[in-house]
């Protein structure tokens, strides 16, 4: 199953009247993420600053960055799916240029996440941005 796009997610979330339904949808998105092998759950891939354990691995297909992500928490896997819709399968330059803050505002996420989850989400985005900026700088 292909990952949802940011447009798909924004459109789908607009159908739900309350945040309990939106959370269920986000959790379901996380269940659709490709599985990450346990052998990739290494300290180098672990994102610091997250309440839950989050791992990020990156591969390449020509100029595209392909991320594989995992978490030990269902809601965080869902949040990772939201981030992957914005970033995975894009070039490093597209990742750096993408306005993630605007995307999160459109999702109305920050008002509905605990401060620790919000900080974890920022740490995830920062890690991916760092990877993309390193690729751009090396080009």
Q: What is the full DSSP assignment across 5-69?
A: PHHHHHHHHHT-SSHHHHHHHHHHHHHTSPP--GGG--TTTBPTT-SS-EEEEEEEETTEEEEEE
The label of the residue with tokens 């959790």 reads 27
Active site residues: 50
| Cβ neighbours for 55, distance < 8 A, ≥ 6 positions apart | 36, 40, 41, 42, 45, 46, 47, 69, 70, 71
């Amino acid at each position: 199953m292909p990952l949802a796009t940011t447009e798909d997610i924004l459109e789908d979330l607009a159908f739900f009247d309350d945040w309990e339904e939106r959370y269920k949808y986000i959790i379901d998105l996380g269940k659709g993420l490709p599985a990450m092998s346990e052998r990739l759950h290494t300290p180098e891939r672990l994102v610091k600053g997250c309440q839950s354990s989050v791992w990020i691995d990156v591969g390449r297909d020509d100029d595209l960055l392909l991320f594989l992500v995992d978490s030990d928490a269902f809601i965080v896997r869902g949040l990772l799916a939201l981030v992957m819709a914005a970033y995975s399968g894009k070039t490093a330059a597209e990742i750096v240029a993408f306005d993630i803050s605007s995307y999160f505002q459109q999702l109305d996420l920050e008002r509905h996440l605990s401060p620790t989850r919000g900080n974890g989400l920022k740490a995830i985005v920062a890690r991916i941005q760092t990877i993309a900026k390193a690729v751009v700088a090396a080009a």
